[in-house]
Homo-oligomer: A and B are copies of this chain.
């Protein structure tokens, strides 16, 4: 009888894997910085080794399956990644089948933001609801939509690309071909770029811009203006999402959350102004920080491994 599953999170810099029991208790975790530049074979080898370590610890007989959370556009049906800036050598390669072949265990591949949304729904900030939207604010912006407790995947598994909601139609060009994507105004990359434009520094991280915003200085004023722009952009995207879904919960996660008190006022003000649905359902619509931090994808992937029918 299955007693645990394994979730794997193939992140931009780290590879992590965890054994999680059916109630969402994490039994064991292995993690390490993977040398992604070594190519496909190295990454696949590391993933399989991490899974095998956990399987050896907890027994092959009790393993329900393996869920893999990966970045990029994923064709769920086909089990491969079609587009990923960070791991180009994994594109259009049958990664799911290859891991299955090496492990001899059921494996399911999922986009990392979808996996994180699933993790938050089952074990995090979304436990009380069946429907939620998660925006992951990182280097880029990902989105995960949970509808009736399940990931809303779309036809080939590419739903939830919410970082590419247009918030400024004629705005900054985005790698996706669009202009003025949310990702260009509210990601860590966007915060750094704005800091550069405002001559605050060439190499400032979102964390640096947060620290700067704490200071009582002209630079602090500029940094707070950056967070206001982040908030307005998030508010505009949330207005579209609230009007579209009327879900009870919208979560934000990622490394920018410490700046919540700087961007949230503009975000809520913009949402309030732009969305009639929000104004009409204020008591039933919550915008909140996610809870599981960077472990959400790991939990979600592990959950997925049990199969959605459990």
- Determine if B275 and A159 form an interchain contact, defined as CB atoms under 8 angstroms apart: no
- List the B side residues contacting A82 at CB < 8 Å: 280
Q: CB-nearest residue of chain B relative to A162?
A: B244
Does A279 belong to the interface (CB within 8 Å)? yes
Instruction: Assess A277 versus B244: contact at CB under 8 Å? Given A147-B152, A166-B236, A169-B236.
Output: no
| Residue tally, chain A, CB below 8 Å to B | 49
- List the B side residues contacting A275 at CB < 8 Å: 164, 176-178
- List the B side residues contacting A265 at CB < 8 Å: none
- List the B side residues contacting A105 at CB < 8 Å: none
Which residues of chain A (131-189) have a CB below 8 Å from chain B? 131, 143, 145, 147-148, 152-162, 164-169, 176-179
Q: Which of A11-19, A219-227, A245-253, A295-303 contacts B (4 or more CB under 8 A)?
A: A245-253
Q: CB-nearest residue of chain B relative to A130?
A: B155
- Determine if B83 and A166 form an interchain contact, defined as CB atoms under 8 angstroms apart: no
- List the B side residues contacting A169 at CB < 8 Å: 167-169, 236
- Determine if B280 and A83 form an interchain contact, defined as CB atoms under 8 angstroms apart: yes
- The minimal Cβ–Cβ distance linking A279 to chain B, given in whole angstroms, is 7
- Determine if A131 and B154 form an interchain contact, defined as CB atoms under 8 angstroms apart: yes
Q: CB-nearest residue of chain B relative to A164?
A: B243
Does A196 belong to the interface (CB within 8 Å)? no
* A176 to B166 Cα, complex, angstroms: 19
* A147 to B153 Cα, complex, angstroms: 10
Does A101 belong to the interface (CB within 8 Å)? no
A residues lining the B interface (CB < 8 Å): 73, 82-83, 131, 143, 145, 147-148, 152-162, 164-169, 176-179, 236, 239-241, 243-248, 273-277, 279-281, 284-285
Interface CB pairs A-B, < 8 A, 22: A73-B276, A147-B147, A148-B148, A153-B246, A155-B284, A155-B285, A156-B246, A156-B281, A158-B281, A161-B243, A161-B276, A162-B244, A164-B239, A164-B275, A164-B276, A165-B240, A166-B166, A166-B239, A166-B274, A177-B275, A177-B276, A244-B244
- Known: A164-B277, A166-B166; 12 extra A-B contacts, CB below 8 A, are A73-B277, A73-B280, A147-B152, A154-B245, A155-B284, A158-B277, A158-B281, A160-B246, A161-B276, A162-B244, A166-B236, A244-B244
